[in-house]
Structure 1
Amino acid sequence: MGENMALTVEKGRPEKSEGRSKKELAVYDYLDKLGISYERVDHPEAHTMEDCAVIEEAFSARVCKNLFLTNSKHSFYYLLMMPGEKVFKTAELSKAIGCGHLSFADGEEMERVLGCTPGSASVFGLMHDKEDLVELLVDKDLMKEEYLCAHPCHNIATLKLRTKDIFTKFLKATKHYKTEVSLKGEG
């Protein structure tokens, strides 16, 4: 995504649903039903944190790095939300949560459990976790932010919400809770 690209911040859901995935539209429906207000930016596919720099600039808010991890048996999953500038260290997180072996879940698992494809994982995928297979892990540094931004299960848009709305109203509705972790993430 070009760094000089100007993005337009819109309030709420898109007026037209053409070109939008069912999963993305389901996120808007869910947030609207809960009465959670949000702003939206549409953009070309954003696959990396570098792609998200222009989005952060448009919103003046932090886009979270979201990593979908699994235990060695692929029977339980973790969605880790952390600041984009931190380096992810598997050993550091494993020690913090007391899980011996963590690896990245594959795209098929992400689709089945979170309803997201690689590059679009976000906290909004928890609305699809009906079997309660995912534990949400949140780096404590994110809790200091007034707003957080994440993809609505499709990486052609990004939403900006109040942090407290994500971690209270949204999580309560999805019947999930967060576990805070303190990651140094030093290279």
Structure 2
Amino acid sequence: MPVTPSALHDYLKELGIEVKTHTHPPLFTVEDSQKLRGEIPGGHTKNLFLKDKKDQFFLVTVDEEAVVDLKTIHHIIGAASRVSFGKPEKLLEYLGVLPGSVTLFGVINDTGHNVRVIIDSELMQNDIINCHPLTNEATTSIRRDDLIQFLRSTGHEPQILAVSESAKASMAV
């Protein structure tokens, strides 16, 4: 049984992590969530649940407006082949969420450590990062360093990589 949003908040509190959660109507796309800009400060995320031909799974999290080249990202994230989107059944099995609610917080459900966490270096320039708290009916604001603490507490060491086109461009300068 996946962790509930309430249990997630309790877990964060046990870690000594303070967050602020805003409830709102369900958001299924980046376009939906952009209607809330101004109300929720910080970096807003777009999450890609990907897999390669060897069934390695990746949760790639970037800024909501980032452009990611799915034809070449496998070279950056260490996938065995080009990647495709993971099936909803695996998303639910590993991260405990449905499409439209994909979030870094989902790794709390990945007790088997089946998913590698990749965060775009550009997103990590934000002091506050906003993620769905296991439901697309809310947005939780968490400090960047606290997010890393949370991920590590679940046994997921995030890889901070330049995966978006703008992050790669800034690395080339």
Q: Do both proteins adopt the same fold according to a TM-score greater than 0.5, normalized to the shorter chain? A: yes
Q: 1:114 aligned to 55, 72, 95, which one?
A: 95
Match of 2:17 in 1: 36
**Partner secondary structure for residue 90 of structure 1:** coil
What is the CA distance between 1:56 and its match in structure 2?
Answer: 3.5
> Does residue 1:83 correspond to 2:60, yes or no?
no
What is the CA distance between 1:22 and its match in structure 2?
Answer: 5.8
Kindly report the root-mean-square deviation, in angstroms, between the aligned alpha carbons of the 2 structures: 1.6
Taking the aligned partners of 1:35 and 1:129, their CA distance within structure 2 comes to 21
What is the CA distance between 1:97 and its match in structure 2?
Answer: 2.2
Taking the aligned partners of 1:56 and 1:139, their CA distance within structure 2 comes to 21
Match of 1:173 in 2: 153
My pick for the range that moved more, 55-64 or 111-120, is 55-64
Contact 2:73 2:82 in 1 (8 A): no
Taking the aligned partners of 1:184 and 1:77, their CA distance within structure 2 comes to 18
Q: How does 1:96-175 map to 2 (within 5 A)?
A: 96-99=76-79, 100-167=81-148, 169-175=149-155
Contact 1:148 1:161 in 2 (8 A): yes
Moved over 2 A (4+): 183-186
Contact 1:89 1:185 in 2 (8 A): yes
- Structure 2 spans left out of the alignment, 5+ residues: 167-173
Match of 2:171 in 1: none
**Partner secondary structure for residue 170 of structure 1:** helix
Taking the aligned partners of 2:66 and 2:94, their CA distance within structure 1 comes to 26
Given residue 126 of structure 1, which amino acid in structure 2 is its aligned partner?
V
- Structure 1 spans left out of the alignment, 5+ residues: 1-20
When normalised by structure 2's length, the TM-score is 0.88
The number of residue pairs the alignment matches comes to: 164
Identity level (%): 30
Q: Deviations over 1:99-132 (max 9, x none)?
A: 2121101111100000011011111111111111
